[in-house]
C-alpha cells in the first residue's frame, strides 16, 4: 500500500498526523509520501516538500507566491502520475489540492479530500470542482454530509479529528505549571496564525492591544505560541512594539497555551475551533491585504467567519475583522470577557455541547472511508 498526501501549513499537518494514525493502524506496512510537516513526518511520512511551502492565504498573497506553488504542484503531479500511489488524499488546502486531485483522478488515481472546502460559508460553486476532482470527501462537521448527498457526491462524516485529542475538561493547572504560571494569574493567549502573511498583517495589532489591556489590568500575563519558523519575525515585532518583556513567546505549544489561558485572542481559522474545544472565551481577529478582503467579502454567504460562530449559528464570540481589528477594539473585547464571568460560564457549557457533537473516532472512521474508496464500496 502506498498513499500520497498533501497538507498545507501547521493546522493541515496536525490533521494529517491524526489521519495517519488511523491509516497506519489499518495498513501498518503502508508507505506515505507527499507534502507534510513535522506531525506527519514523525509518523513515518516521506515529505518531498514541507507543508509550510503551502502556507499562504488570500488572493493577492497567493499571487505573490503563485509561480512557486505552481512549480511544486506540477512537479508533484508528474511524480505521482509516473509512479502511481494507491490513493491520493488532499488535506484541506483546497486551492492547491482540488486542481491536483482533478488531474490525478483523470490519470486514473483514486482521490479523497479530508476536510470539506467551506462551500457552506463562501464560494458554493466550488462543489462542482469537488465533483470532478474527488472520489470521496471526508467531512469533519455533521451538517456537511447532507450537502454532498444532495449533490450526489460520495462523502462520510468522520467527526473532527481534534475532538478526541483535546480533553473534555482541560487541565488548566497542569498547563500553567508547565509554562511557569500561577493559578491566580490572569492569562491571555495570543494566537496570530501560522502563516507568514498572517503574522505580517496581525501581530503588530495584537502586540499594540497589550498596552490597552495592561492599562486596565497591569498584572495580566500574556503568552504567544509561535510556529518555530515564524518566531524570529514575532520576536522582532515584539521589540518594535516594546512588549518583548510583557509576552512569553513559546515554541509551538498552542494547546498548552489554550489550556492555560483565561481568554484567547486568536486569528480566524482552525485555532478558533481549538479554542472552543478547550472551552475558552475568545476574540476572533483577522486582517489581510485590502484587495483580498474585498474579494472574499463579496463571496461570503454567511454572517459569520469564525468556526465557533458558524457551528453555533450565532455570534457566541466577537469577530473583529479587517478595519474593525484595531488594537483598541481588540483590547476592549478581551477586557469585556475578563469582566463577564457569568457569560464565560454559559459559553463553556455551549462549547461542551459542541465538543460532544464533534467527538467521533475520526482516525478509524477516516481509514474505513479510504478503504471503501479503494474497494469501490459505498461507505456506511
Tell whether pTM > 0.85: no
Q: What are phi and psi of 217, to 5 degrees?
A: -140, 90
CA distance 121 to 134: 20
> Whole-angstrom Cα distance, residue 321 to residue 307?
14
Distances (CA, A) of 185 to 179, 251, 258: 12, 21, 14
Cell of 201: 498583517
β-pairing verdict for 87-91 and 2-7: parallel
> What is the signed CA dihedral for 73, 121, 230, 10, rounded to 10 degrees?
-60
Write the CA distances from 325 to 255, 258, 308, 332, integer angstroms.
24, 21, 18, 11
With beta carbons less than 8 A apart as the criterion, state whether 76 and 100 touch.
yes
What distance, in Å, lies between the first and last C-alpha atoms of the chain? 23
Nearest residue to 226 via CA among 183, 267, 279, 262: 267
Distance CA 54, CA 93 (A): 8
What is d(CA 253, CA 272) in angstroms, rounded to the nearest whole number? 15
| All domains of the chain in start order, with CATH | 2-164+359-374 (3.40.50.2000), 172-358 (3.40.50.2000)
User: What does the pLDDT read at residue 54?
Assistant: 79
Which of 224, 166, 223, 170 has its CA nearest to residue 193? 224
Nearest to 181 by CA among 264, 251, 260: 260
In the chain (380 residues long), the average pLDDT of successive 10-residue segments reads 92 90 96 96 96 65 68 96 97 92 97 89 82 96 91 95 92 97 97 80 89 91 91 91 92 95 92 96 81 60 79 93 89 96 97 96 94 73
Q: How many residues does the chain have?
A: 380
Burial class (CB within 10 angstroms; exposed 0-12, middle 13-18, buried 19+) of 22: buried
CA–CA distance from 297 to each of 62, 126, 203, 303, 321 (Å)?
17, 16, 22, 10, 11
* Cβ-proximal residues to 284 (8 Å cutoff; 6+ apart), any chain: 266, 267, 268, 272, 305, 306, 308, 309, 317, 318, 319, 320, 321
CB atoms near residue 24 (< 10 Å):
18
Q: Evaluate whether 59 touches 292 at the Cβ level (below 8 Å).
A: yes
Cα separation, 118 vs 123, in Å, equals 8
CA distance 169 to 184: 19
Amino acid at each position: 500500500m502506498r498513499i500520497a498526501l498533501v497538507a498545507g501549513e501547521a493546522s493541515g499537518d496536525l490533521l494529517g498526523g491524526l489521519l495517519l494514525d488511523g491509516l497506519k493502524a489499518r495498513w501498518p506496512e503502508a508507505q506515505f509520501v507527499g507534502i507534510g510537516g513535522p506531525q506527519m513526518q514523525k509518523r513515518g511520512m516521506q515529505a518531498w516538500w514541507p507543508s509550510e511551502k503551502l502556507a499562504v492565504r488570500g488572493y493577492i498573497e497567493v499571487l505573490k507566491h503563485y509561480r512557486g506553488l505552481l512549480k511544486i504542484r506540477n512537479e508533484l503531479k508528474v511524480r505521482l502520475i509516473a509512479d502511481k500511489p494507491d490513493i491520493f488524499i488532499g488535506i484541506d488546502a483546497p486551492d492547491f489540492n482540488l486542481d491536483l486531485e482533478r488531474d490525478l483522478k483523470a490519470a486514473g488515481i483514486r482521490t479523497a479530500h479530508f476536510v470539506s472546502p467551506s462551500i457552506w460559508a463562501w464560494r458554493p460553486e466550488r462543489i462542482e470542482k469537488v465533483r470532478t476532482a474527488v472520489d470521496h470527501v471526508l467531512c469533519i462537521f455533521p451538517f456537511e454530509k447532507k450537502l454532498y448527498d444532495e449533490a450526489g457526491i460520495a462523502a462520510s462524516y468522520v467527526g473532527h479529528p481534534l475532538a478526541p485529542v483535546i480533553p473534555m475538561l482541560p487541565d488548566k493547572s497542569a498547563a500553567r505549571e508547565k509554562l511557569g504560571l500561577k493559578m491566580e494569574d490572569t492569562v491571555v493567549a495570543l494566537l496570530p496564525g501560522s502563516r507568514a502573511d498572517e503574522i505580517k498583517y496581525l501581530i503588530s495589532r495584537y502586540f499594540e492591544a497589550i498596552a490597552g489591556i495592561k492599562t486596565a489590568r497591569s498584572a495580566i500575563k500574556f503568552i504567544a505560541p509561535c510556529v518555530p519558523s515564524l518566531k524570529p519575525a514575532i520576536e522582532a515585532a515584539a521589540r518594535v512594539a516594546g512588549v518583548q518583556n510583557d509576552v512569553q513567546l513559546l515554541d509551538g505549544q498552542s494547546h498548552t497555551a489554550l489550556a492555560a489561558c483565561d481568554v484567547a485572542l486568536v486569528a480566524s481559522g482552525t485555532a478558533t475551533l481549538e479554542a472552543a474545544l478547550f472551552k475558552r472565551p475568545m476574540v476572533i481577529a483577522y486582517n489581510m491585504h485590502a484587495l483580498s478582503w474585498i474579494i472574499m467579502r463579496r463571496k461570503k454567504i454567511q454572517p459569520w467567519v469564525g468556526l465557533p460562530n458558524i457551528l453555533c449559528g450565532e455570534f457566541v464570540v466577537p469577530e473583529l475583522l479587517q478595519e474593525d481589528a484595531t488594537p483598541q477594539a481588540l483590547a476592549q473585547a478581551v477586557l469585556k470577557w475578563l469582566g463577564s464571568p457569568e457569560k464565560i460560564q454559559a459559553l463553556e457549557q455551549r462549547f461542551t455541547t459542541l465538543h460532544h457533537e464533534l467527538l467521533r473516532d475520526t482516525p478509524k472512521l477516516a481509514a474505513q472511508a479510504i478503504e471503501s474508496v479503494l474497494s469501490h464500496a459505498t461507505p456506511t
